[in-house]
Amino acid sequence: MPLANRAAAEFLGTFWLVFGGCGSAVLAAGFPGLGIGFVGVSLAFGLTVLTMAYAIGHVSGCHLNPAVTLGLVVGKRFPARELPVYVIAQVLGAIAAAGVLYFIASGKSGFDVHQGFASNGYAEHSPGGYCMSSALVAEVVLTFAFLFIILGATDERAPKGFAPLAIGLGLTLIHLIGIPVTNLSVNPARSTGPALFAGGWAITQLWLFWVAPLVGAALAGVVYPMIAHDKKA
């Protein structure tokens, strides 16, 4: 498959992840008595990956996340030379999704993008008031777990056809754990799109949501082959 086609698939897939996941948080989570809450938002993120894994997994691998692409590079599952193209496509898809979501959300009276716009944050911008060190450790550990699931579920020795289910449910689970801490990122592209529109503190804190997921993903790319005796690594 040509790289341009795969990059286009990553753009559209990441658009769907951010629009579906962050859109559920911005548009559907806050209705008193009717909102979907943390559980609903967690399911929304998991469902975006699950649905896109079946839609474009055979086209681009359905990374949708710079950390995933890096982890696959470290784990010898993806060529390093294609990493920049995938990351650019993913970030642009996330920004485009955030732009469409902003347009829709701003149609409601009283909407204030600076209140968060599903951005990731720590300290006073953590949903549960967690400090920077807690946020950093949570993002590293949860990204590590997510990449470990991906590497295991897509191992050629794993049961065939079930990888999207494992990965989508894995993303749901880590959101259930991490939303109270940081609104959960584990995905630098997902963090960048909303932050560019929220501005201010969201931009200032964005560094953590690049550094921590990339570190966690790289660690998983090293550890999984050691444990699983992955011959590709």
Could you tell me the mean pLDDT of each successive run of 10 residues in the chain, 233 residues long?
A: 95 98 91 85 97 96 98 96 98 98 92 89 96 98 98 91 94 97 97 96 97 98 90 59
Residue 161: inside a domain: yes
Residue 146: inside a domain: yes
Q: What's the confidence (pLDDT) of residue 158?
A: 87
Domain tally, the chain:
1
Q: What's the confidence (pLDDT) of residue 230?
A: 66
Q: What b-and-e string marks burial along 132-153, b requiring 16 or more CB atoms within 10 Å of the CB? A: eebbbebbbbbbbbbbbbbbbb
Q: What's the confidence (pLDDT) of residue 232?
A: 59
Q: What's the confidence (pLDDT) of residue 30?
A: 75
Closest-CA residue to 121 (of 191, 184, 182, 175): 182
User: Would you call 195 exposed, middle or buried from its count of C-beta atoms within 10 A (0-12, 13-18, 19+)?
Assistant: buried
- pTM of the entire predicted model: 0.94
Residue 205: inside a domain: yes
How does the average pLDDT of the chain come out, rounded?
Answer: 95
45 lies in which domain range? Answer: 3-228
Residue 233: inside a domain: no
Q: Which residue has the tokens 């769907």?
A: 16
Rounded Cα gap, residues 20 and 28, in angstroms: 11
Residue 181: inside a domain: yes
Q: What's the confidence (pLDDT) of residue 174?
A: 97
**CATH for 12:** 1.20.1080.10
Structure-block tokens of residue 105:
């959300």
Q: What's the confidence (pLDDT) of residue 39?
A: 94
Cβ 208 vs Cβ 119: under 8 Å: no
Closest-CA residue to 13 (of 100, 77, 89, 105): 89
Rounded Cα gap, residues 19 and 44, in angstroms: 10
Give the angle 183-42-13 at the CA atoms, nearest 5°.
95
